[in-house]
Amino acid sequence: MAENRRFLLVRRPQGTPEESDFALEASDIPVPPPGGLVIRNRFASLDPAQRGWMDDAESYMPPIPLGDPVRATTVGIVHASDNPDFAVGQWVMGLNALEDYSVAMPGGFTMAIDPDAVASPSNYLSALGAVGLTGYFGLLEVAKPRAGETLLVSGAAGAVGSAVGQIGKIKGCRVVGIAGGPAKCRRLLEDYGFDAAIDYKGKDHEALVAAIAEAAPDGVNMVFENVGGPVMEAEMFNLAHHARIVLCGLISEYNAPEKVGLRNLWQVLARRATIHGFLIADYAERFAEGGAQMAQWLAEGKLRMDEDVQEGLENAYPAFMRLFTGANTGKLVLKIS
Amino acid sequence: MAENRRFLLVRRPQGTPEESDFALEASDIPVPPPGGLVIRNRFASLDPAQRGWMDDAESYMPPIPLGDPVRATTVGIVHASDNPDFAVGQWVMGLNALEDYSVAMPGGFTMAIDPDAVASPSNYLSALGAVGLTGYFGLLEVAKPRAGETLLVSGAAGAVGSAVGQIGKIKGCRVVGIAGGPAKCRRLLEDYGFDAAIDYKGKDHEALVAAIAEAAPDGVNMVFENVGGPVMEAEMFNLAHHARIVLCGLISEYNAPEKVGLRNLWQVLARRATIHGFLIADYAERFAEGGAQMAQWLAEGKLRMDEDVQEGLENAYPAFMRLFTGANTGKLVLKIS
C-alpha cells in the first residue's frame, strides 16, 4: 500500500448522517514528526460518540474539523517511529482516525498493547477498550451494585449493555435488559445470561412501563442508560427509592433534531433517584486495572464480548450506520487492513 | 367558633386549579379519637407540593381523597386531647389540613413546638419548617458546598430559594439567583445578599444561557432547582464539570398538561453532572438539629426569611394561587384563626 486512504468528514450531518457527508480520499503516507509515530491502523472502533463529535457543538471533545478524517480509537502497528519508546512493528492503541496511517504523539492516549494476551487485537477495542471499561467502571464505580439488587440496562444487546449486564450478574444482581426485537432479546437470555429481556419494539409507553414492572417487581435499583428518549421515560416509572441511574449514552437522541429528553423528571424527584453523567475518559488512569479484570473474566468464561467486525475502510459509512439501524450484533469494529 | 370550616378538594384540577375544584364547608368540631388530639389550626403552610397531592397519581404521598380537606402542614393549639403527652393549650405542628380543627394522632408528624423561641409561631412553617429545612439539608447534605464554588438557585426569591442562597453565602459560595421580574431580583441582591440576580422574564433560551454565563463565568458547581422547564434547560448549558444538581422542585411543570422536562440531558452527561432527587421527608429525623441551626442564624441576623401571610380560610383559593402567579413575596402562609 503506497497511499494513505482517509475517511474525511466533509459536511456536518443534519440528523442521520448521509454518505455525502463523508469522502474517501488518498494522500501520501505521512512521516513521523519529531518524537512522534506513524501507526498503520488495523482495526478501528465505531461508536455512537463519533456521531456527537461530528456536530459543531461544544462537548467533552472538540468537534472533528471539516476536512479531517473521522476521529476513532484504533489498534495498529507502528509503521515508522521517531520515538525511542516505540519500535517499528510494535502493537499500539490510541485515539487516531479512520485512515490507513495515523500520526500519533506519545503522551496522549497512545499506549502499547500485547496482542498475545487476547484472542484478537480487536479485543482492545471491545472488552478491554473504552466500551468494555465503560461498562466496568460505570457499573462498579458509579452505580455500585449490591448483591440482590435489580439492574436495568437499556441498549442491552449492544457492546456496552451486554458487558454491563454480565458484570451485574457476576456481582449477584438481578439483571433485566431492554433491546429491540426478539433476536436481540434471545441473545440477552442465552448468550449473556440476563434474567429477563424486554423487547421495546411495538410497545407504547404504558406497555413498556408494565413490562418493566413485571420484570422488576421490587422496582429498579440501578439503571444503566444507553438509549434515552421514550425508553428512558418508561424506566423512570419503575424506579425503587434512591435508585442510581448511570447516564452513559443517549443513542436515540443523537440523530434527532428535536430532543425528547426526560419529560418525567418528577419521577426522579419523587423516588429520590440520582442521575450520574458518566464518561469513561474520567477513568483513563485506571484502564490497566479494569482491562486486567476484564481479560481475566474473558479467560474464565464469565464474560463474553461479541464483535461485529466489518471489512474495509471503503465500507466505513455503511458500517457506521449499523450503529443507528440496530444492525450490529456486538461491538462494532472496522477492519482497516 | 362553634363549627369546623373545611377547605375541601371536590374535583381534581386539570392544569391550573380553578376555584370550583374546591368547596368551603362547615361541619361539627371533631372529638379526639382514643389516644389522639384535636388541634385548632392557627397557621397553615401553602406549598407547591400540595398541587401534586391533588392529582390522582402515585407519588411520595397518596393523593388527597376527593371530598377531603386539602392536606397542609399547620401550627396550632391543642383544643382537646386524649393523649397524656399533649395538654390542651399546648402549641403543636403537624401534617394536618386546611380546616379550623384537625384530628391528629401523635406518632406521625405531630410534634410540640415552642412559640417563645421565635418571632411568630408561623416561623415553624417557614425558616424552621419544611421549607427552611429543605434549603438547609438540600444544600448542605446533597450539594455539599465548598467555599469559593458557584451556586445557582432557581425560584430564588421563593421561600426555599432565598434560604438556599443565604445558606450558600454563609458557606462562602458565590450565589447567583434566577427569579421573575425586577422587583424579585432586587430583593435577591438587597434583602438576601445574593451576588448576582437574573430576571428570566423576557429572555429566550439563548439570552438566559448567556445571562447565566455572565453571572457564573467559571461555570456553575451547584444548581438548586426549584423550577424546571426552560429555566432548568438554560442552566444545564452552564454546568461546570462534575456539577451537582439538587432537584427539589419543578413548579413550572405542576400545572402543565405537557411536561417540558429536560431535553438536553446530553449536557448532564458531557459535564459528568449529577442530578439528585431530593425530598425533605428523608431528613425528618434531623429536623430538630436543622431547626436549631436555622433559629440561631435567624437570631444572629445571618438569615432572613420573609413570610407572605394571607388571612382567612375563606381566602385559601386565591392565597394558594399566589404560588403559581409568582405574587407571593416570601414563604406563603395562610392565617386560619
- B107/A contact by beta carbon, under 8 A: no
Check if A198 contacts B (Cβ < 8 Å).
no
Give the pLDDT band (50/70/90) at residue B322.
very high
Residue A266 forms contact with B (CB below 8 Å) = yes
Same domain, A27 and A97: yes
* Contact yes or no for A266 and B52 at CB 8 A: yes
Instruction: Give the number of domains in chain B.
Output: 2
> What is Dmax (Cα atoms) for chain B?
62
Share above pLDDT 90 across residues of chain A, in percent, rounded to a whole number: 80
Tell me if chain A has a CB within 8 Å of the CB of B209.
Answer: no
Domain region containing A161? 130-281
Least confident of A69-83, B226-240, B277-291: B277-291
On whether both A198 and A82 belong to a single domain, the answer is no
* A249-253, B55-59, B170-174, B302-306: segment of lowest average pLDDT: B55-59
Specify if A324 maps to a domain.
yes
Nearest CA distance, A319 vs chain B (angstrom): 25
Question: Are A20 and A120 in the same domain?
Answer: yes
Listed residue (B124, B154, B169, B198) closest to B48, CA to CA: B154
CB contact under 8 A, B277 and A269: yes
Give the gap in angstroms from C-alpha A222 to the nearest C-alpha of chain B. Answer: 14
Which residue of chain B comes nearest to A249, CA vs CA? B269
Pairwise CA distance, residues B214 & B242, whole Å? 20
Quick one: B247 and B148 in the same domain? yes
A190 and A328 housed in the same domain:
no
Number of cross-chain residue pairs from A and B with Cβ atoms under 8 Å apart: 90
Q: Mean pLDDT of all residues in chain A?
A: 94
Assess if residue A290 is contained within a domain: no
Residue B180 grid coordinates? 421573575
CA distance B44 to chain A (A): 23
Give the contacts of A281 (CB within 8 A, at least 6 positions apart): A60
Q: Is the ipTM of this complex over 0.95?
A: no
Statement to judge: residues B120 and B139 lie in one domain = no
- The CA–CA distances, whole Å, from B220 to A60, A150, B208, B240 equal 16, 33, 14, 5
> Are B141 and B277 in a shared domain?
yes
Which element (helix H / strand E) includes B318?
helix B316-325
**A9 pLDDT above the threshold of 60:** yes
Interface touch A272/B250, C-beta < 8 Å: no
The CATH number covering residue A12 comes to: 3.90.180.10
For chain A, say whether B52 makes contact (Cβ under 8 Å).
yes
The CATH number covering residue A223 comes to: 3.40.50.720
B269 and B323 part of one domain: no
Domain-located, residue B296? no
Q: In this structure, is residue B325 part of a structural domain?
A: yes
Q: Which residue of A has its CA nearest to B60?
A: A270
A192 belongs to a structural domain: yes
Same domain, A19 and A140: no
Tell me if A73 is assigned to some domain.
yes
* Chain B CB contacts of A59 below 8 Å: 266, 270
Q: Which pLDDT does position B1 carry in this prediction? A: 52
Does residue A292 fall inside a structural domain? no
pLDDT tens for A256-310 read 777 788 888 999 999 999 999 999 989 988 988 998 899 899 989 999 999 999 9
B248 vs A269: CB contact, 8 Å cut-off? Answer: yes
Min Cα separation A114/chain B (Å): 31
Q: Is A215 exposed, middle or buried (0-12, 13-18, 19+ CB in 10 A)?
A: buried
Query: A150 and A111 in one domain?
Result: no
Distance from CA of B337 to the nearest CA of A (A): 33
Domain match, B99 and B223 both: no
Residue A293 lies in a domain: no
Helix (H, G, I), strand (E, B) or coil at B265: helix
Instruction: Give me the helix-helix angle, B229-236 and B205-215, nearest 10°.
Output: 50
Same domain membership, residue B324 and residue B245: no
B107-136 confidence digits (pLDDT tens) = 777 889 989 888 899 999 999 988 899 999
- Domain C-terminal end among B281, B296, B322: B281
Distances (CA, A) of B214 to A102, B198, B209, B220: 40, 10, 9, 11
